[in-house]
Structure 1
Amino acid sequence: MAVVLREARDTLVPDMRGPHGPLPPLMLVLTVLTGLVDAFSYLLLGHVFVANMTGNVVFMGFAFAGAASFSTLASVVALASFVAGALAGGRAVHRVRAHRGRQLQHAALIETAFVAAAMTVALISGGPYTGGVRFALIALLGLGLGVQNASVRALAVPDLTTTVVTRTLTGAVADSRLAKGPGSRAGRRVLSAAALLVGAFIGALVLLNGHPVLPLVLAVAVLAVVSAGASVLARSDAPWTRPPDEG
């Protein structure tokens, strides 16, 4: 237990001289954001995710089989938008591949623009979100989260993907000493899962209490904080700013 707590502490308050510097807590913040936007999309946009694409592939299977409340078109729009966002995010981060702080800054600013646009659409249109408004929201959020995932992949902070929890939890157990593994890094991995849970909980809570746009407002606020922090980090020349394969 002491090891788990130490790993959690080191993730929340990392060694700035370490290989990933201040990136781990920022990845956790983005994981909370993932929970917020997926709560909004799943609960208000008709059983579709804008961040967790595995779920959309499964939902498409349900829709093909004729299950009610699942839309093939919504899942396709989410997938296509996510892919387009990942392409845009990949181009943005690869232009500044030599500096991880600038990678995060560029991606966070682009993602903020997409999520803020979705928030604006939601505010102007009012609920319920149907027809073209629904698909516009799915597309804008899918683009934003695609950008996020592309940047997270480039930053390559171990166990902090901001979306994938199944693999994270598998690693926490399968790599543990109990399983005769090399060590599970359970503290960091449990924090990652908890951050997603917290974001989803907050998003669902405010939605169920009659505040449909608030998850997006919170998401934009989170991105504003990340963008501001990344803008400061973009001026750093610390060792962690170099890509992992060069650091």
Structure 2
Amino acid sequence: MLRTLPNVVRFRVAAGKGDRNLLLRRRHALVVVLTFLTGSADAVGFLALGGAFSSVMTGNMVLLGLSAGSGHAELAVTSGCAIVSFIAGVLAGARLVGSAQPEDPVWPRQVTRALVLELLVFLVFLVVWEVSPPSRPAHVGLGLLMLSAAALGVQSSAIQRFGVPGLSSTYLTGTLTSLIAGVAARSPWRDLRPKAHVLMALMSGAGVGALTAIHLPAWSPVLLLVPLVLVISVSARMAE
């Protein structure tokens, strides 16, 4: 009987590793869904809410610099407000999720709580979007952009709680750089695939968001709410 104990221990360890790998794959899938949301929000913000981005703060800082050089006051206000709102969302999200801990599970409960906060912000976004006319005043569009940027700031902080270097659903220039560097170094596809998934989700979300903003604008908030509700529902079970 004593001889069988090492086999039992090895079996349990292997089972534990299998469960964790499954959770890691689910976490990656949920981050991909959130990245699709990000692409949609950026497309809607750029095309329908004043020509700035909801999550790409590097792009907004460039727009802010361009506005200073060209004397474009309206662009300065739009990009500047998006940056400030994103920062506010990051601060709120960081306060809620805290920092990564060595004993953290694959999906800490705090991440789901932060995503619930993001959902609440997007629900306000939905209400304002629906009650305002299609040809909404500039200040209403700016308010919607600020809500979207704040929500994605919360999302950015939530993903940081995982404590995984390079894992993000909003700022992905580093992901693209890492992917191309990996291709150049002939890294295995299994290492490159997660990065490719995230980048494809961003571009797909932007494409769908652009089509919706142009042809079915009333449905634009759905692209932000449905993916988020899906992620919250699945992650709530993961965090149990």
TM range (shorter): 0.7 to 0.9
Output one character per residue of 1:209-238: Cα deviation in whole Å (capped at 9) or x when no partner.
Answer: 1x2132211211111111111221221xxx
Please give the alpha-carbon distance, in whole angstroms, between the structure 1 residues aligned to 2:164 and 2:96: 18
Per the TM alignment, residue 21 of structure 1 is displaced from its structure 2 partner at its CA by 5.2
Give the structure 2 partner of residue 228 of structure 1: 233
Gaps of 5+ in 1: 1-14, 236-247
Per the TM alignment, residue 68 of structure 1 is displaced from its structure 2 partner at its CA by 5.9
Residues 49, 55 of structure 1: 8 Å contact kept? yes
Equivalent position to 2:75, from 67, 71, 75? 71
Residues 107, 151 of structure 1: 8 Å contact kept? yes
1:136 aligned to 2:139? no
Taking structure 1 as the reference length, what is the TM-score of the superposition?
0.80
Residues 175, 181 of structure 1: 8 Å contact kept? yes
Give the structure 1 partner of residue 223 of structure 2: 218
Gaps of 5+ in 2: 1-17
Give the structure 1 partner of residue 96 of structure 2: 92
Give the structure 2 partner of residue 20 of structure 1: 24
Please give the alpha-carbon distance, in whole angstroms, between the structure 1 residues aligned to 2:218 and 2:57: 22
Residues 175 and 183 of structure 1: is their aligned pair in 2 closer, same or farther, counting only changes over 3 Å?
Answer: farther
Taking structure 2 as the reference length, what is the TM-score of the superposition?
0.82
Equivalent position to 1:30, from 34, 41, 45? 34
Moved more, 215-224 or 52-61: 215-224
TM-align CA RMSD: 2.4
Please give the alpha-carbon distance, in whole angstroms, between the structure 2 residues aligned to 1:37 and 1:67: 27
What secondary structure, in the 3-state scheme, does the structure 2 residue paired with 1:194 have?
Answer: helix
1:106 aligned to 2:103? no
Number of residue-to-residue matches in the alignment:
219
Please give the alpha-carbon distance, in whole angstroms, between the structure 2 residues aligned to 1:116 and 1:145: 13
Q: How does 1:176-215 map to 2 (within 5 A)?
A: 176=183, 178-179=184-185, 185-209=191-215, 211-215=216-220
Output one character per residue of 1:182-231: Cα deviation in whole Å (capped at 9) or x when no partner.
Answer: 9892211111110001100111111221x213221121111111111122
Please give the alpha-carbon distance, in whole angstroms, between the structure 1 residues aligned to 2:137 and 2:192: 41
Please give the alpha-carbon distance, in whole angstroms, between the structure 2 residues aligned to 1:165 and 1:96: 20
Identity %: 31
- Compare the two structures and name the one with the higher helix fraction: 2
Residues 159, 188 of structure 1: 8 Å contact kept? no
Give the structure 1 partner of residue 53 of structure 2: 49
Moved more, 20-29 or 114-123: 20-29
Please give the alpha-carbon distance, in whole angstroms, between the structure 2 residues aligned to 1:16 and 1:198: 30
Residues 103, 155 of structure 1: 8 Å contact kept? no
User: What letter matches 1:86 in structure 2?
Assistant: V
Give the structure 1 partner of residue 5 of structure 2: none
Residues 92 and 130 of structure 1: is their aligned pair in 2 closer, same or farther, counting only changes over 3 Å?
Answer: same
Residues 60, 83 of structure 2: 8 Å contact kept? yes
